Amino acid sequence: MKSLLIVSVVSCILPGISLSAIAQKHINAANYQENNPKAKSIKFIEGIEIKADHVSIIQPVNTLPVTDPSTNTTTQSSGNSPAIENFSALQFKYAQLLNCNIEDVKNISMYSFIDEWLETRYRYGGSTKKGVDCSAFTGLLMGTVYAIKLPRTAREQYSQSEKIGKEEMQEGDLVFFNTRGGISHVGVYLSEGYFVHASTNNGVTVSSLTDPYYESRFISGGRVINNTNTAISR
């Protein structure tokens, strides 16, 4: 349901605007705008109030704890008090991109790194924002986010990782492909069947493992450990 909410909101926002969505079924858009002169810039779509800076999803909660100061005892109150969950525009963006719930986009350091490199052009042998190839990008991501030092090439990264199937993959695992013979392409798995990689055609981008091109060339997932020989934290 939240994924549908996200898609509805994003479809009505111009690209590049920092977003905030507040799901408020209890609010009346017409009355709110009448009582708030500055609300003309706020769009209401099926009970959604759109602002800037961050994402707050307000959900009704039937019971909330209330403390009586005279007795210092806590009881459950009844009613429809809202529970508020705050999310960043970055989480909003990648939840929409990965078609997942906002609360599932937790690894802010990883998504910040991805967002910083997104659309960087592909350059064979490159390792900077002037141009980067697939294995350099995975090495930079794993080093920055997980403090894992990977070897330079996709083939070497494959040889130093534990091989896993699609159904076992978790956020931060590597994904390997045969695009031109042998182990020739690598990316980093995100969630919901999506991975980030430096594509020869699109540069740094997010793609789906169900895309016919990648599905037919998929070899395996690869799980790596950090420099202290322990599993990376997810």
Q: So which residues are the catalytic ones?
A: 134, 185, 197
| 142/133 Cα distance (integer angstroms) | 14
Give, to the nearest 10 degrees, the angle between helix 89-98 and helix 2-10. 110
Two structure tokens written together for 49:
């109030």
Token couple for 108 = 């802010």
* Paired tokens of 2: 């939240």
Residue type, 184: S
Residue 168 carries which DSSP code?
G
Burial call 9-40: b when 16+ CB within 10 Å, e when fewer: bbeeeeeeeebbbbbbeeeebeeeeeeeeeee
Query: In the chain, where does DSSP find H-type helix?
Result: 2-10, 29-35, 89-98, 108-117, 134-146, 154-159, 212-217
Give CA separation, 22 vs 15, 103, 177, in Å: 19, 14, 41
Determine how many CB atoms are found less than 10 A away from the CB of residue 119: 9
What is the token pair recorded at 194? 């999506």
Determine the Cα–Cα distance for residues 138 and 196; give it in Å rounded to an integer: 9
